[in-house]
Amino acid sequence: MMDDYSLPFWIYLAVVTVIVGGAMKKVLTSHLSTGPTLVAWLGATVLVERLWAFCLPALLLLALIGLAFSLYSWTRTGPPPVTLPTEGKAVFITGCDSGFGNAAVKRLDSLGFDVFATVMDLTGHGARDLQRTCSPHLTLMQVDITQPQQVQQALLDTSAKLGHRGLWGLVNNAGVCVNFGDAELSLMSTFRGCMEVNFFGTLSVTKSFLPLVRQAKGRILTISSPAGDQPFPCLAAYGASKAALNLFTNTLRHELEPWGVHVSTILPSSFKTGHSSNHVYWEQQHKQVLKSLSPSLLEEYGEDYMTETKDLFQSFAKQANPDLSPVINTIVEALLAPQPQARYYAGPGVGLMYFIHSYLPFSISNRFLQKLFLKKKLMPLALRKQSGLDLDPPDLLNNNNNNNNNEK
């Protein structure tokens, strides 16, 4: 019966197979949870059903299913991955006062790396914690990556301690997210501040330390964000800086391949780091934005609209994962894997997000992103007036009444 089908049919079947197979491969290698993996296998089931409908001989079909199952089982239960030794390897990591950087220093130090870590304050809690818990192999440096003189001094100090050795790993971790709210409501200083730290600061460190990394044929790891690839609402300043960083990192990966240097980007999901759980920080940011706006712009958007955005960010931050181990494990993997990946999705949901972004129609991925991040209920005040909507929704009014009662 297979002879009854024309050449275009087999071309179509090959294209379908490649698309479904590529989607499955992306899902299964993206550190996803059981749910998305099940979706991938359902896609494979649909493909099998199509093959069966097109009269593929049953014996051959069973053989294909068995082969696919065997390959999948082998990848899931095979021998542990081979890792490189840590002896004699040095790593320079930025932004270690708290969060990913602080936790990564402790792990890398415990594994036997010679760690050079930068902090903003050598007398701060994070620096004292590292000095107390880590081995004498740890070298702490006070470095603001936006200050070229401090970066150059850190390079000189690191080179002096390394001697004739090169630098195995450069981990670009330092970054800031000092913005929430619509792009029109964000300060120009916020855009510049994000670019100065997240892009130009990382660029300065990378260019300065590249000769040491090339000498060791080592690795460059950059902690970035999905906001640099996808348009998260109310994160324009942060996302734009990370987008510039992602493009620079991708370009660098191609350019350094002939030198034997591996370049990887790590894309974490939502974790509790830095100021994310600091209520005072969010209130200060909110007040600063309100003070900076012109009366006309504040009137068009409405203070309640901006308050809702602040509350949503706080709520999102509270739900973030306090366990940083997915990112720390990924940093270790990227430093010690014989062939590190170009991109790592660290934490639940990131791989699924990129899968939807890459394979589903734009309208679906766009709506998914909006529903995933900030679920705003209020429109700007001017739009509510134009639409004749209730300017004081019942649920918002009830919340205000409850707050007043609590204050009493």
Task: Please check whether residue 170 is in contact with residue 221, taking contact to mean a CB–CB distance below 8 angstroms.
Answer: yes
Burial of 268 (0-12, 13-18, 19+ CB in 10 A): buried
pLDDT tens for 240-261 read 999 999 999 999 999 999 999 9
177: CB partners within 8 A, 6+ apart: 194, 235, 238, 274
Residue 191, CA distances (Å) to 179, 197, 310, 317 in order: 8, 10, 18, 21
- For residue 120, give both structure tokens: 């903003």
pLDDT tens for 76-91 read 444 566 789 999 999 9
Residue 311, pLDDT > 90, answer no
pLDDT at 71: 58
Torsion of CA 209, 215, 219, 224, to 10 degrees: 20
pLDDT at 33: 46
Residue 407, pLDDT > 80, answer no
101: CB partners within 8 A, 6+ apart: 93, 94, 95, 117, 171, 173, 174
Residue 376, CA distances (Å) to 35, 129, 373 in order: 27, 39, 9
User: In this structure, what are the phi and psi dihedrals at residue 49, rounded to the nearest 5 degrees?
Assistant: -60, -40
User: pTM higher than 0.75 for the full model?
Assistant: yes
pLDDT tens for 256-286 read 999 999 999 999 988 877 666 667 777 887 8
- For residue 305, give both structure tokens: 């609209």
Q: What is the DSSP letter of 197?
A: I
* Residue in 114, 135, 146 with CA at minimum distance from that of residue 218: 114
Q: Which of 187 and 1 is assigned the larger pLDDT?
A: 187
Residues marked active site are found at 238
Residue 32, pLDDT > 50, answer no
The stretch 375-392 carries a mean pLDDT of 79
The stretch 350-361 carries a mean pLDDT of 80
Rounded-to-integer distance, Cα 311 and Cα 285, Å: 12
Residue 2, pLDDT > 70, answer no
Residue 157, CA distances (Å) to 160, 167, 243, 298 in order: 5, 13, 31, 49
Torsion of CA 115, 118, 123, 126, to 10 degrees: -70
pLDDT tens for 138-179 read 999 999 999 999 999 999 999 999 999 999 999 999 998 776
Q: Which of 90 and 288 is assigned the larger pLDDT?
A: 90
Rounded-to-integer distance, Cα 325 and Cα 246, Å: 23
pLDDT at 31: 47
Residue 332, pLDDT > 60, answer yes
Rounded-to-integer distance, Cα 408 and Cα 342, Å: 56
**H or E segment to which residue 262 belongs:** strand 262-268
The stretch 201-217 carries a mean pLDDT of 98
Residue 49, pLDDT > 90, answer no
Q: Where are the alpha helices (DSSP H) in 319-380?
A: 325-336, 350-359, 362-372
Q: Which of 341 and 61 is assigned the larger pLDDT?
A: 341
pLDDT tens for 359-379 read 778 877 777 777 766 678 888
pLDDT tens for 105-121 read 999 999 999 999 999 99
pLDDT band, very low/low/confident/very high, at 312 (cuts 50, 70, 90): confident
Torsion of CA 317, 320, 322, 325, to 10 degrees: -130
pLDDT at 14: 64
pLDDT at 352: 79
Most confident by average pLDDT, 127-131, 276-280, 349-353: 127-131
